[in-house]
Structure 1
Amino acid sequence: MVVESDGLLDESSLAAAPLPQEAVRVRLNKPRTDDLADLVFLANNKTVASNLSTMPHPFTALDGRAMIEKALRNQELNAGFAIRLKTTGRLIGLIRYANVEPGGPLHIGYWLGEPFWGKGYATEAVHALVDHAFTYTDAQELQGSCRVTNPASRRVLIKSGFQYRDQSMIRSIGAGGSVPIERYTLERAVWKSLKGWGQGL
């Protein structure tokens, strides 16, 4: 579930910070304007939009340009990346972390296009994002959430070390109203103990 902050934070730019470490089959890097066609094709999906908080449906080229521009304005506590297949370089989704509440935890959000579901790509991408967030920010806690009707996203969070916190409601533009979600947290200390991803997950 993507929970994004539309405001830009007064923090140092991430331009000089390394990109997230590559995973086995995916890499996270900056989205490009030539990703627009793939982005619109994958994002213009009612099922994808209804599992996220801020993605509209239908999703237009104008929405895609705005999403790419936002991801290119990375800040220390608000960074977005394209998820790409390493074999082809093709964009298959987006992932980000954002400081929604000043002084609060970083919220992570992610989505993949439907043709790429069920292959473990999201888990690889979340591992890389979590490592990046805890390595290049002072965040002590990350939060993630998923709709209660989205077991695949729940599995991604759990396999990434996140622990169940509670249930809540959130407005989803794509779903057309408020939907129940499960919220999960990952503390820096837990991340350190699980850093060799795959051990015990």
Structure 2
Amino acid sequence: MVVESDGLLDESSLIAAPLPQEAVRVRLDKPRRDDLADLVYLADNRTVAANLATMPHPFTARDGRALIEKAGHDRPCTAVFAIRLKSTGRLIGIARYAAVEADGPVHVGYWLGEPFWGRGFATEAVHSLVDHAFTWHGMNELQGSCRVTNPASRRVLVKSGFQYRDQAMIRSIGAGGSVPIERYTLERAVWKSLKGWGQGQ
């Protein structure tokens, strides 16, 4: 149920355009200091960390404060969002995109706390994340990846329009070594076609 980029995303991201980004049941907006308890509770999970490249385990309050602080730093083609339940405003995960190198590909990444897996929240969040990236930035392609052992994340990417590209190995801090991943891409033209098709129904 969790996915991240090829391990190249760092924690330095920002909310780069107008907020909030609304979906049906979730809202993407800026992480706040009062999210710290929920952030640490949900992120300090070995299963979550093992499915990501850069998340440490254990995930401490210090890690949470650093993520929240760096979320406010402005960088081009970069955004980090708290994924919140619209009904309560509670943080249930993190979604982000970032251009790892100048003129390099923009990678999407996300995770949800384990209590919120299997309810379709991740798909809603990734749809909103993709819409935000393509609406407010000029990139022509987004990239995403998931561990080969994570079919839920694969479904989220495919439902969001991403197409399989290849397999690779990345180092995962939480998994304690290298793990195989599947890499996916979504082109702006495909996104526009999917958006137009959805509006025509």
- Whether TM-score is above 0.5 comes out as yes
* Other-structure match for 2:75: 75
SS in 1 for 2:21: coil
SS in 2 for 1:88: coil
Residue 72 of structure 1 and its aligned partner are, at CA, apart by 2.0
Mapped partners of 1:7, 1:47: distance in 2: 19
Mapped partners of 2:48, 2:134: distance in 1: 27
* Other-structure match for 2:116: 116
Mapped partners of 1:59, 1:7: distance in 2: 13
* Other-structure match for 1:62: 62
Aligned-pair identity (%)? 77
The runs of 5 or more residues in structure 1 that have no matched partner are none
Distance change in 2, residues 1:65/1:197 (3 Å): farther
Letter in 2 for 1:55: M
Residue 195 of structure 1 and its aligned partner are, at CA, apart by 1.1
Matches within 5 A, 1:3-152: 3=5, 4-6=8-10, 17-19=17-19, 21-152=21-152
Question: 4+ runs of 1 displaced by more than 6 Å?
Answer: none
Judge conservation of contact 2:9–2:54 (CA < 8 Å) in 1: no
Q: How many pairs align?
A: 195
Distance change in 2, residues 1:21/1:197 (3 Å): farther
Corresponding position: 1:2 with 2:11: no
Whose relative contact order is higher, 1 or 2, with alpha carbons under 8 Å and at least 6 apart? 2
Distance change in 2, residues 1:30/1:38 (3 Å): same
Mapped partners of 1:95, 1:7: distance in 2: 11
The runs of 5 or more residues in structure 2 that have no matched partner are none
1:89-148 deviation digits (Å, cap 9, x = unpaired): 000000000001321221000000000000000000000010010011110000000000
Q: Which moved more, 1:63-72 or 1:118-127?
A: 63-72
Residue 14 of structure 1 and its aligned partner are, at CA, apart by 5.5
Distance change in 2, residues 1:149/1:71 (3 Å): same
Judge conservation of contact 2:96–2:108 (CA < 8 Å) in 1: yes
Compute the TM-score of the two structures, normalised by the length of structure 1: 0.91
Letter in 1 for 2:85: L
Distance change in 2, residues 1:55/1:198 (3 Å): farther
Letter in 2 for 1:2: E
